[in-house]
Structure 1
């Protein structure tokens, strides 16, 4: 069952990738504390929709989120090396963090996993976006399979307070 609005974000260890820094391992409780944030999940780095439409929208609007005091995090069930290469290929700006959830720990704790074994992908994250303040979920949007409508950067920017 997916996490609900009003619930605290789970506290699990993930690898964090920032354009200007080394990969670090951190607990999400520490990472998300004291922040307004958008966390969006994608089925996989380098996959077509994720690379051509989903992540690029957030990269393009990153400064607009920051102007509202909102941090942006993208997560996928991929290892840190793949996520670092994806960040470089997508020209992810400094401060925009990618989370490598290699064992799907965060994905499962959020209740947002999907079984992609029919496509050779194993357990992955459903496509989602959430807005949280101080570690509490204020908004959760989850896409229907094959869609990219309610989790775009434009939708989430409009949903964040100014």
Structure 2
């Protein structure tokens, strides 16, 4: 098993059958994956997230939409910085939507900093790699739309 960002940098003899039989593309986390990543990190600081869900579905949708194309590390950083602010202000460790949005607004995700190169990697990977994630069919998945409006699955 190996990881890399530029498949074209791998010598062709390593990509033949018997060496690396399958190649997967790990893209940005989907909505349900972002929720799971955020929940996992939030539970480290705010115990409410390990027992129940203090955010409403509407609040989750807001933060998930604001974190589209954020990496797992960026999501972790948002939570850690929100916890740090509460800690330094000597407030109770209750991280809510406002704290998460405040920290989200303070970071510049990799996707924003280097959009062209990230899109190039994604586009090349689409044709030669299998996606590492299953399609997101959760209630938080973006609605599929066309020119004529919402598409029912």
TM-score (ref. length: structure 1): 0.25
Bigger share in helix: 2
| Structure with larger Rg | 2
